[in-house]
Structure 1
């Protein structure tokens, strides 16, 4: 694959969940995570692949086996229209939704009875049906869809880039885990976040300047708003130009490099992170936010992170000690 062309799936969709019908459609079978490992009655572990800085899990749905991207930047569960068609009753009218760079036309909806993670079930799910063929071709995977906030919010999510493993544990309405015996690892730190619709927003620093970053598991590179104060941009060291493909398949050129001196507080800080300099105006307008940037894969590769949407808190697991 041409390394100068990278797909950045960050904050792809600005959409309100459709209302779920009282009577679910009965002829649609559940979604299964084919390689999920049972931990206890409320917890499962799912191995994932990293494909071009995207977290990808194998799923079986509607007699199809393929890949789903884990994307906290997506509000809904999304199905690739190349492989699935919207239900006729609800799929007649196309809808326009917002992406980072432009608008995404002709979004349909499909209703699903069940998502099954071993014995952990979520019922009455809605899914947007969108053409993701450009992502599928570029990544050379059978992309069935994207798993977003509407599914992830009901779990505490441990994203472990050290083991390439996703741990999902069911939580109650207050965000408490249904089982205490989930993690063998030690939680070494934590920090609060705010939630704007489905977007995780972190207060952070670049150098000694305060910034607001969105957190997105499907951002292949961090993004930094090119209109920021020069004292912040001084910590961005450009190295080359990239072509990024947005949600609708349109490309734009951005400046890529590394961002230095990023920290969440005095104890949670990061090494240099691959970052692109771009205009976040459309994203901020779509989500009603005023973000200075987006943290993605580069964040998770440095921090083994637990996300709890209901407590609005991130927890960080200690990295394993490696011998010299």
Structure 2
């Protein structure tokens, strides 16, 4: 039976974390496949594990994988591989995850995170047990990189070339280098940033809905409480067992969602979607969503995310000439 894990997105550069003894030593994490395009832009190839975007990395002599997740508020480290990190500081609040919030997590300060010459300082990292995801996906998972890191970049997620391009932006969202992309931007869509969540307005069968965009959602999700006019075009196929960051499992109805539009020019073909209760997601994300658009969204749209401008930009897939 298929399983669902929720995150995604990744990077290739070096991150410096304090070691487990809290002294002044910095230990780098290396994402070794990055290609530096200029002083502010890096391009990173990724592999898809099921529908998760994953990069290989090395931290404290551990070689493994990081998932890049626009739906995660912070960087998350897997306690399985960093057992001395977790006892630093227990978090007072829960860590957000897409199926439910995660309790029993710990917090670690990331002293320095660097993308070649680009550096971010004093970033928080949550530390949790992610062994169930490793087992499900059959990968060695070191952690997840989320919004707290990605927000300072314009992020091009390209499922056509299986690569992510990160380019540094100023506080207004302007890229620090011109002519970053060879491809032409053909469309755009405004979004609202609710806490760390990308929220867009759209319609399903002309019924107004509010979607969250999450690059780590392996399947789209639609709230079973949404208006019946929208649910009319959710065509169920089978039941799935889904598991999230917090190890909890739920059974959901899976099918295809039709007639999704985000604007007059941004619309989608049928997308694999699960019907579920979004109460815990809304509580974790601090907003009221009717659905989540994940892998299926990015599979149909080569998408650039600019958090500062609160805008999505789209680049066409090449025409199929076969």
Query: What TM-score, normalized to structure 2?
Result: 0.91
> Aligned partners of 1:183, 1:25: CA distance in 2, in Å?
41
**For residue 297 of structure 1, what is the aligned residue in structure 2?**
295
- Which among 24, 30, 33 is matched to residue 31 of structure 2? 33
Given that 2:97 and 2:244 are in contact with CA atoms closer than 8 Å, whether structure 1 keeps it comes out as: yes
> Aligned partners of 1:120, 1:305: CA distance in 2, in Å?
23
> Aligned partners of 1:269, 1:34: CA distance in 2, in Å?
36
- Which among 113, 116, 120 is matched to residue 114 of structure 2? 116
Alignment of 1:307 onto 2:279:
no
Given that 1:35 and 1:47 are in contact with CA atoms closer than 8 Å, whether structure 2 keeps it comes out as: yes
> Aligned partners of 2:237, 2:86: CA distance in 1, in Å?
49
**For residue 237 of structure 1, what is the aligned residue in structure 2?**
235
**For residue 73 of structure 1, what is the aligned residue in structure 2?**
71
> Aligned partners of 2:314, 2:96: CA distance in 1, in Å?
32
> Aligned partners of 1:95, 1:312: CA distance in 2, in Å?
27
**Could you say what secondary structure the match of 2:133 adopts?**
helix
**For residue 217 of structure 1, what is the aligned residue in structure 2?**
215
> Aligned partners of 2:188, 2:91: CA distance in 1, in Å?
44
Task: Report deviation, 1:173.
Answer: 0.6
**For residue 5 of structure 2, what is the aligned residue in structure 1?**
8
Task: Report deviation, 1:33.
Answer: 1.6
- Which among 224, 247, 250 is matched to residue 248 of structure 2? 250
**Could you say what secondary structure the match of 2:27 adopts?**
coil
- Change in Cα spacing, 1:91 to 1:170, as seen in structure 2 (3 Å) is same
**For residue 64 of structure 1, what is the aligned residue in structure 2?**
62
**Could you say what secondary structure the match of 1:6 adopts?**
coil
Task: Report deviation, 1:58.
Answer: 1.4
Task: Report deviation, 1:118.
Answer: 2.8
Which stretches in structure 1 are left out of the alignment for 5+ residues? 12-20
Given that 2:7 and 2:67 are in contact with CA atoms closer than 8 Å, whether structure 1 keeps it comes out as: no
Given that 1:193 and 1:200 are in contact with CA atoms closer than 8 Å, whether structure 2 keeps it comes out as: yes
**For residue 147 of structure 1, what is the aligned residue in structure 2?**
145
Given that 1:5 and 1:245 are in contact with CA atoms closer than 8 Å, whether structure 2 keeps it comes out as: no
Given that 2:7 and 2:144 are in contact with CA atoms closer than 8 Å, whether structure 1 keeps it comes out as: no
**Could you say what secondary structure the match of 1:69 adopts?**
strand
Given that 1:204 and 1:212 are in contact with CA atoms closer than 8 Å, whether structure 2 keeps it comes out as: yes
Given that 2:34 and 2:44 are in contact with CA atoms closer than 8 Å, whether structure 1 keeps it comes out as: yes
> Aligned partners of 2:58, 2:165: CA distance in 1, in Å?
18
Given that 2:30 and 2:57 are in contact with CA atoms closer than 8 Å, whether structure 1 keeps it comes out as: yes
Given that 1:86 and 1:109 are in contact with CA atoms closer than 8 Å, whether structure 2 keeps it comes out as: no
- Which among 87, 102, 105 is matched to residue 104 of structure 1? 102
> Aligned partners of 1:130, 1:268: CA distance in 2, in Å?
37
**For residue 188 of structure 2, what is the aligned residue in structure 1?**
190
Which stretches in structure 2 are left out of the alignment for 5+ residues? 9-17
Task: Report deviation, 1:130.
Answer: 0.6
- Change in Cα spacing, 1:223 to 1:104, as seen in structure 2 (3 Å) is same
- Change in Cα spacing, 1:131 to 1:259, as seen in structure 2 (3 Å) is same
Given that 1:36 and 1:44 are in contact with CA atoms closer than 8 Å, whether structure 2 keeps it comes out as: yes
Task: Report deviation, 1:122.
Answer: 2.0
**For residue 263 of structure 2, what is the aligned residue in structure 1?**
265
> Aligned partners of 1:93, 1:237: CA distance in 2, in Å?
41
Query: What TM-score, normalized to structure 1?
Result: 0.91
Given that 1:31 and 1:114 are in contact with CA atoms closer than 8 Å, whether structure 2 keeps it comes out as: no
- Which among 198, 201, 222 is matched to residue 200 of structure 1? 198
**Could you say what secondary structure the match of 2:281 adopts?**
helix
> Aligned partners of 2:260, 2:68: CA distance in 1, in Å?
24
- Change in Cα spacing, 1:193 to 1:25, as seen in structure 2 (3 Å) is farther
**Could you say what secondary structure the match of 1:105 adopts?**
coil
> Aligned partners of 2:154, 2:94: CA distance in 1, in Å?
31
**Could you say what secondary structure the match of 2:181 adopts?**
coil
